[in-house]
Structure 1
């Protein structure tokens, strides 16, 4: 995932945990981390991380089951890939808000 220049004037642009209808990343420019949109993004990121942990547990269970069929493995891998994409996006977003970072 590439990100454009993440500054707007002196303010950092925050990568939000969702895309626009065209599938492109959304960014937020705000001076206040406690804005409604910032708090919504925080809640969604927390839910994505929690979901990723649950998917990881499920994927490990499927991989540990020698009787798991191709459909179960494909499903687990698909969900794990989606979760990994979310976690990477959260990491990029949070890393980009660390003072002095250039992600």
Structure 2
């Protein structure tokens, strides 16, 4: 939830890796729901990769190339999760549940 006149950092990057922002005070708008859905997908992907990494570490037969590929995917997932944590931490800082919203 963003306050009026506040930009929401979106869970994807724009051209050249630059951050994308959304200006809206409608948390149920199309772009807000799209961003929420993408965040959910990114978190699900990270969870699956963590499980895959645990299995790969337990498997002595995992090749170096497979581990490198997994580390590359984990790096991307960690980047996504970090962005989501930043978004949500920022929202938590700007939103005071004790203050009326209407």
Does TM-score exceed 0.5, indicating one fold? yes
Aligned pairs (5 A) from 1:1-103: 11-100=5-94
Give 4+ residue runs of structure 1 displaced > 2 Å after superposition: none
Provide the C-alpha distance between the structure 2 equivalents of 1:82 and 1:53, rounded to a whole number of angstroms: 13
C-alpha RMSD of matched pairs (Å): 1.9
- The structure richer in helix per residue is 2
TM-score normalised by length of structure 1: 0.83
Q: Which has the larger radius of gyration?
A: 2
Contact 1:14–1:96 (CA under 8 A) maintained in structure 2: no
Unaligned regions of 5+ residues in structure 1, if any? 1-6
CA distance in 2, matches of 1:40, 1:32: 12
In structure 2, the partner of 1:4 is none
Matched pairs, number: 94
| In structure 2, distance between residues paired with 1:72 and 1:64 | 13
